[in-house]
């Protein structure tokens, strides 16, 4: 069957070899894609779409147009910079919409939403809603404008209408502005007052604590990884269990054991008191503060640093260090100039992993952080279940996500996603 001219080669069923090969390669590729598709679709639906929806919620502002359908288009024609209150037709439309909303009980939702922009609007809307229920527009003797201002004089102020005007579009920047401690002011977008600035401080605190935790895990993890990498394999297999057991133990178990250890009446304080180092009133406050968060999270994240470092160190050839020693280096110099530079990739990989994990942590800071040791994730959770300001929660979440994506790209450049191994 073989001929010197390859374009004439045919397979057993008479088709050209080249064509047959192309077909079978295409089929293999198609089969490979088919295998991946179920999981791909599953992740898109259960994970990617929810996250995208969160991004949408951070700017979504359909509520104003939904609750004041006729007022919003009329208000859009008003120019707040002219310094005068809107015209009579806006007031008329507002009374109509307001009555409907008051009856459907949705007016308070809008009041609450606009209260994030300017405090006092929530109570204004509540009061107006109550009064509007009894108001009958057909029987008015004065203009609608005067009637509304009579209900509350804030309706005669430009600032009130300015807020509604600004927040009537389908999208809003205000959640993101809040998330970075800015707000709208008479002069445009400004920083908030000193005492209301919490989020930037929170981001700073989260980044700083995470950095500290990463540094501590490198400090504590490096000797252990070195020991495990240089011991005989049988011994290191036994000792690595001491690293893997914390890794496999439930997060809550580890956190509760730190509570038991660090509390005022806990094991460590009892021990120090029993040996006389501290008095009964002088018990150390090691928990429900930043120290609790740092200590507990260092413990929890230490295996994530040790394992990548260990796998990098295992690949370093021991004869390099021996060669350095044989050429006259002291053991410290050999370590500093030969061994350590080879481990930097491992430190980078483990470090970024620990850092990414710690900026997103919620459970441990919630349980042992007190008020000063909480991180950004605790506030996101607070806005979801506590203050119900979902837009702000979504905005904070989006900022956190962007930060993590940036770090992840960095991780990919240093290590490569394909190189991740577990266990």
Within residues 23-82, the interface with other proteins by CB under 8 A covers 28-29, 31-36, 38-40, 42-43, 46-54, 57
Q: Closest separation between CB of residue 332 and other proteins, Å? A: 9
Give how far Cα 269 sits from Cα of 272, 291, 337, Å.
5, 15, 43
Minimum CB distance to other proteins, residue 303 (Å): 8
User: Is residue 258 a contact point for other proteins (CB under 8 A)?
Assistant: yes
Q: Which residues contact 69 (CB under 8 A, 6 or more apart)?
A: 97
- The smaller minimum CB distance to other proteins, of residues 243 and 345, is found at 243
C-alpha distances in Å from residue 378, one per residue of 95, 274, 279, 359:
40, 36, 34, 11
Q: Does 327 bind other proteins (CB under 8 A)?
A: no
Q: Which of 187, 233, 317, 319 binds other proteins (CB under 8 A)?
A: 233
Burial of 179 (0-12, 13-18, 19+ CB in 10 A): buried
C-alpha angle 192-194-198 in degrees, rounded to nearest 5? 75
Least distance (Å) from other proteins to the CB of residue 70? Answer: 27
Cβ-in-10-Å burial (0-12, 13-18, 19+) of 255 comes to buried
Region binding other proteins by CB under 8 A among candidate stretches 83-91, 120-128, 151-159, 359-367:
359-367
277 binds other proteins (CB under 8 A): no
Neighbours of 35 (CB within 10 A): 10
Binding status of residue 15 toward other proteins by CB under 8 A: no
Kindly tell me which of 160 and 377 has the beta carbon lying closer to other proteins: 377
Residues 6+ apart with CB under 8 A from 6: 17, 18
Q: Token match 């054991």: residue?
A: 257
Would you say 164 or 376 has its CB closer to other proteins? 376
| 234 touching other proteins, by CB under 8 A | yes
Cβ proximity to other proteins: between 163 and 396 the closer is 396
**What CA–CA distance (Å, rounded) separates 226 from 210?**
24
- Give least dist CB 9 to other proteins, A: 19
Of residues 294-313, those binding other proteins (CB under 8 A): 299, 302-303
* Residue count, binding to other proteins (CB under 8 A): 92
- Name which position in 360, 389, 392, 415 contacts other proteins (CB under 8 A): 360
- Could you give the residue ranges of the DSSP H alpha helices within 314-389? 318-326, 331-334, 340-359, 363-368, 376-381
* Interface with other proteins, residue 414, by CB under 8 A: no
Taking the least distance from each CB to other proteins, the nearer of 227 and 278 is: 227
Within residues 140-199, the interface with other proteins by CB under 8 A covers: none
Neighbours of 70 (CB within 10 A): 15
Strands 188-191 and 182-185: antiparallel
Question: Is 309 within 8 Å of 222 (Cβ atoms)?
Answer: yes
182 or 240: CB nearest other proteins: 240
Beta carbon nearer to other proteins, 102 or 240: 240
Task: Identify which of residues 114 and 216 has a Cβ nearer to other proteins in the complex.
Answer: 216
Q: Binding of other proteins at residue 317 (CB under 8 A)?
A: no
Identified binder of other proteins from the candidate list 198, 267, 277, 414, rule CB under 8 A: 267
Closest CA to 409 of 356, 357, 362: 356
């Amino acid at each position: 069957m073989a001929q010197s001219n390859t374009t004439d080669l045919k397979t057993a069923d008479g088709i050209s070899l080249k064509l047959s090969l192309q077909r079978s390669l295409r089929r293999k590729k198609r089969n490979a894609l088919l295998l991946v598709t179920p999981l791909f679709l599953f992740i898109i639906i259960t994970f990617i779409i929810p996250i995208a929806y969160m991004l949408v919620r951070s700017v979504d502002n359909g509520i104003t147009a939904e609750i004041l359908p006729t007022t919003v288009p009329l208000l859009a024609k008003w120019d707040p910079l002219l310094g005068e209150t809107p015209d009579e037709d806006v007031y008329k439309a507002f009374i109509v919409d307001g009555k409907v909303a008051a009856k459907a009980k949705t007016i308070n939702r809008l009041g609450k939403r606009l209260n994030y922009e300017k405090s006092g609007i929530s109570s204004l809307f509540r009061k107006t809603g109550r009064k509007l229920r009894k108001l009958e527009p057909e029987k008015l003797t004065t203009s609608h404008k005067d009637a509304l201002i009579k209900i509350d004089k804030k309706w005669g102020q430009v600032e009130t209408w300015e807020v509604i005007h600004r927040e009537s579009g389908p999208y809003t920047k205000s959640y993101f502005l809040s998330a970075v401690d800015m707000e709208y002011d008479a002069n445009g977008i400004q920083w908030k007052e000193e005492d209301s600035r919490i989020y930037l401080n929170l981001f700073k605190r989260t980044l700083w604590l995470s950095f500290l935790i990463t540094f501590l895990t490198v400090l504590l993890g490096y000797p252990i990884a070195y020991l495990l990498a240089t011991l005989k394999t049988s011994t290191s297999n036994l000792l690595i269990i001491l690293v893997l057991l914390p890794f496999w133990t439930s997060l809550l178990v580890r956190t509760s054991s730190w509570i038991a250890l660090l509390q005022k009446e806990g094991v460590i304080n009892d021990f120090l008191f029993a040996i006389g180092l501290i008095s009964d009133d002088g018990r150390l406050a090691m928990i429900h503060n930043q120290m609790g968060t740092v200590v507990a999270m260092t413990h929890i994240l230490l295996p994530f640093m040790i394992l990548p470092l260990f796998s990098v160190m295992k690949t370093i050839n021991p004869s390099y260090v021996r060669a350095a020693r044989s050429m006259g280096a002291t053991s410290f110099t050999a370590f500093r100039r030969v061994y350590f530079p080879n481990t930097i990739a491992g430190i980078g990989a483990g470090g970024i992993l620990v850092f990414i994990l710690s900026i997103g942590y919620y459970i441990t800071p919630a349980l042992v952080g007190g008020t000063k040791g909480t991180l950004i994730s605790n506030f996101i959770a607070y806005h979801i279940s506590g203050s119900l300001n979902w837009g702000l929660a979504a905005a904070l979440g989006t900022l956190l996500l962007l930060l993590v994506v940036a770090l992840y790209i960095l991780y990919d450049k240093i290590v490569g996603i394909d190189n991740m191994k577990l266990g």
